[in-house]
Amino acid sequence: MSNYSRRFSRRHVVAIAAAVAVATGFSLAPGIQKPAFAADAPVGLGTAESFAVLGSTTVTNTDTPTVVSGNLGVSPGSSVTNFPPGLVGNGTIHRTDDVAKSAQLDLISAYDDAASRTPITGDLVDLAGMTLTPGVYGGGALGLTGTLTLTGDASSVFVFQAGTTLITDSGSRVLLTGEVNACNVFWQVGSSATLGSGSQFVGTVIAMTSITANSGSTVEGRLLARTGAVTLDSNIITRPSSCSNGGSSTTDGSSTTPGTSPTTPVAPPANAIPGRASFTG
């Protein structure tokens, strides 16, 4: 075989190998991993998409003016306490009704979806100080002691997998840069999640057990607990309104309390959730 033929054959083989690697998701460069294709799609929430807060046993507010924008629900439990003084705007309180039951069923599928994705790295501990691009990130017990920066465009999806707990420190924050949308940030938690006092959190938390939002913490996203309680304390929780990730249910824009008829929606204060622009301070 001529030298030209041998060179051509080598180039041809390399080109074919490269095409196969791209098609199958493998990296050609040693040590560089390509995110799993599933990470390109948001986690489908189904009817749970309309909820800002969803518990399984109880939803408890510690007698403070917590503001929830979006549906608030509990199923199969029925206890929702201290609403009022907590307020629900742009949604309805659902206690052990078909809407809450359906949302809990869809939450199981969402949890399994998020947990099944292949992470770029699976050994993260403290996310503070990191600047991350789209993908799936995992660890055992995840923590946030400072600022986590997520950078990308409007279609970027971030999935965080905590094998056990997710705990954020007081004053910690998640900062979105570029055009990253809070709709596309998901936190799958193997046990329980705790948001520290005054923390500024972004994304949908899907916890196997319970979720506690300590005093003054804010969430641009959702707090969704599969088998336990959601505990609130002077929080502002705003469900992202521009999501289209999986069959949302329709809200009627009303707020209810035990033994009363639906009332006029109570809108959250203007600029209730610190926006991404204010996260740069």
202 with 174: CB under 8 angstroms?
Answer: yes
Query: What local confidence, expressed as pLDDT, does residue 253 receive?
Result: 35
Q: Are residues 87 and 225 in the same domain?
A: yes
Joined together, the tokens standing for residue 62 give: 């510690």
Q: Are residues 84 and 131 in the same domain?
A: yes
Q: What's the rounded Cα separation, in Å, for the pair 198 and 200?
A: 7
Query: What local confidence, expressed as pLDDT, does residue 244 receive?
Result: 60
pTM: predicted TM-score of the whole model, two decimal places:
0.76
Query: What local confidence, expressed as pLDDT, does residue 250 receive?
Result: 40
* Per-residue CA distances from 27 to 13, 14, 239 (Å): 16, 13, 37
Q: Are residues 74 and 135 in the same domain?
A: yes
Q: Are residues 90 and 28 in the same domain?
A: no
Q: Are residues 54 and 97 in the same domain?
A: yes
| Burial group, residue 81, by CB count within 10 angstroms (0-12, 13-18, 19+) | middle
Query: What local confidence, expressed as pLDDT, does residue 143 receive?
Result: 98
Q: Are residues 207 and 238 in the same domain?
A: yes
Query: What local confidence, expressed as pLDDT, does residue 241 receive?
Result: 80
Q: Are residues 17 and 102 in the same domain?
A: no
- Per-residue pLDDT of 119-165, as tens digits, reads 999 999 999 999 999 999 999 999 999 999 999 999 999 999 999 99
* Per-residue CA distances from 162 to 48, 182, 200 (Å): 20, 19, 19
Closest CA relative to residue 56, chosen from 21, 101, 120? 101
Q: Are residues 129 and 246 in the same domain?
A: yes
- Per-residue pLDDT of 62-93, as tens digits, reads 999 999 999 999 999 999 999 999 999 999 99
Domain count, the chain: 2
Closest CA relative to residue 51, chosen from 246, 217, 198? 246
Q: Are residues 47 and 15 in the same domain?
A: no
> Can you give the residue range of the structural domain that contains 20?
3-34
Which ranges of the chain have pLDDT less than 50? 2-39, 246-281
Query: What local confidence, expressed as pLDDT, does residue 243 receive?
Result: 73
Q: Are residues 13 and 83 in the same domain?
A: no
Q: Are residues 271 and 172 in the same domain?
A: yes
Query: What local confidence, expressed as pLDDT, does residue 76 receive?
Result: 97
Amino acid at 239: R
Neighbours of 57 (CB within 10 A): 18
Joined together, the tokens standing for residue 271 give: 């600029």
173 with 278: CB under 8 angstroms?
Answer: no
Q: Are residues 22 and 144 in the same domain?
A: no
